[in-house]
Structure formats: C-alpha cells, structure tokens
Amino acid sequence: MNNTFRTTLLLGALTGLLLAFGSVFGGRSGMVFAFGFAVIMNMGAYWYSDKIVLKLYKAQPVTEAQDPSLIRMVRELSTRAGLPMPRVYRIPNPSPNAFATGRNPENAVVAVTAGIRELLTDEELAGVIGHELAHIGHRDILISSIAATLAGAIMMLAYMARWAFFLGGRGDEDSNPVGALALAILAPIAAVIIQMAVSRSREYQADKTGAKIAGSPLPLASALEKLSAAAKGIPMEANPATSHMFIVKPFSGKSLLQLFSTHPPVEKRIEKLKSRS
C-alpha cells in the first residue's frame, strides 16, 4: 500500500475514533472541548517545535567556516530536492543520529550529532541528510502534529469519561456512561497504536524519497545499518516525546510490541531500500 495513502487512512481512522468516542461520551460538547484543548496544546508544540527540541539537546548552529563539507552537502541536496536551504545544527553527543524539525520548509532545521559525523562516510551521510530533507518536504512535522492532536483529544475524552463514571456523572442526555467507560479503556490504546503507525509510515516514505534525493538507496541502507548498531552501543539519553524525530530510535531498548514503536524495524527499512537499487 502506498505510504501516503496509508497515512491518510490512519489519520481518517483517528478522526473516526474521535467522533465515535465523542458521540458516546459527552455528546458534541465533550468532543469539541477535548479537541479544542488538544489543538491548543499541539499547535503550540508545532509552532515552537524547532526551538524546543534544539534547546533540549543543546544543539548549536553550524557555520560554513566550522564544517564546510556538511554545509555544502546540505545545500546541494536541498537544491536537488527543490527545498530552501535549512539551518544546520550540531548536537554535542557521541551517539550517531540526526533529525529534522521546523513548522515548514522555510523554517526548517537539520540537526546531526557529533557521533554521526565520525561514523558515516560522505555518501552515507548524504543518504541521511536526504532522508531528513524528505521529512521537511513531506511536512511530516505538521502530519505528526495532526496525529498528536487527534490522539490527544481522544486521551482527554478518556480522562473525562473515567472521572465522570466514577463520580456518577452522565454528561449530556445523549451520552452513554457504560459505553464511555469501555471506550475510555480501549480508545487511548487504539489512538496510540494508530499514531505510532502514522510515524512508521512517514519513516518508510522518507527513506524512499531520501534515497532519490541522495541519488541511490544503498548509502542510506548502509547508514541505517551502522546507526542501528551504534545506538545499541552508545544509546542517547533522549526524551521519549521526541524520539520519533530521529532517523533511528536513539536508545537500545525494544518495544514490547511493534505496534507501539515509532520506527519501523531497521531490517525492513534496509530491505526495502536494497530492493530499489
């Protein structure tokens, strides 16, 4: 299934789950309140995502004088991708990784760790940069924010439903307290599963487009193999809320269930890339 189509279906499923939950608990008023609250919270995160995450990881801007080859590489690849030149930042961390952030291509950032500059060849690093530029071109920060908003609204409704049930409230006349309690348990789990599936779908899409930007899928496949192995030996103390932004999961621990993982298995990503060579 095409990854763009899959993302559309997943976002539609989140929307449908929100509407179904809202109709059972609190009627329209409860749904509107939860959705509005989630919009405010996540739009703030979306608008200031670059400043928040760069400060969190102590990232510093990179000038052409400091790292001319990196700046030249990002400039050439962004031109090839038809994107404005993003700002480039360096994270003083030995764990090799990279991410992109920014609310739109005109305000984008590509950040690389100190470790990735030491580990990868120029061709492999170009594959990684291409992947991050693909995220920028696909506006994946916006897509992730939409998914987070819908999932957040569902979780807020679940929280309201549990309190209403235990306090004996019934909400609006058209609400169903028993059904709301059941959904309050199941809906947040379903929302997280769908949100993680959106994240995994965008990684596959960025791999595909990033390989085209870099000119070949094989350097990116090689980079992913190296980065995945290095993350196990030199895990990063990353905030779980931002771990989905990195090209590979920044810590070595595995999810109990793949359904709750923000990243697809590296082996599958490498397999897909090699099949395109």
Please give the structure tokens belonging to residue 97.
């990784």
| Per-residue pLDDT tens digits for 226-248 | 999 998 888 888 777 788 889 99
Q: Does the structure show a pLDDT above 60 at 162? A: yes
The pLDDT of residue 142 = 79
Which of 59-68, 86-95, 133-142, 212-221 is the least confident region? Answer: 133-142
Of 109 and 4, the structure prediction assigns the larger pLDDT to 109
**Given the residues 106, 123, 124, 132, the one annotated as active site:** 132
Of 239 and 196, the structure prediction assigns the larger pLDDT to 196
Percent with pLDDT over 90 in the chain: 45
Based on the number of CB atoms within 10 Å of its own CB, is 8 exposed (0-12), middle (13-18) or buried (19 or more)?
Answer: middle
The pLDDT of residue 40 = 73
Percent with pLDDT over 70 in the chain: 77
Number of continuous H segments (helices) and E segments (strands) in the chain = 10, 4
Contact present, 105 and 260 (Cβ < 8 Å): no
Establish whether 132 is a catalytic residue. Answer: yes
Q: Does the structure show a pLDDT above 70 at 249? A: yes
| Domain boundaries defined on the chain | 3-275
Query: How does strand 98-101 pair with strand 60-61?
Result: unpaired
Helix, strand, or coil here: 127?
Answer: helix
The pLDDT of residue 256 = 47
| Per-residue pLDDT tens digits for 200-216 | 889 999 999 999 999 99
| Average of per-residue pLDDT across 5-23 | 70
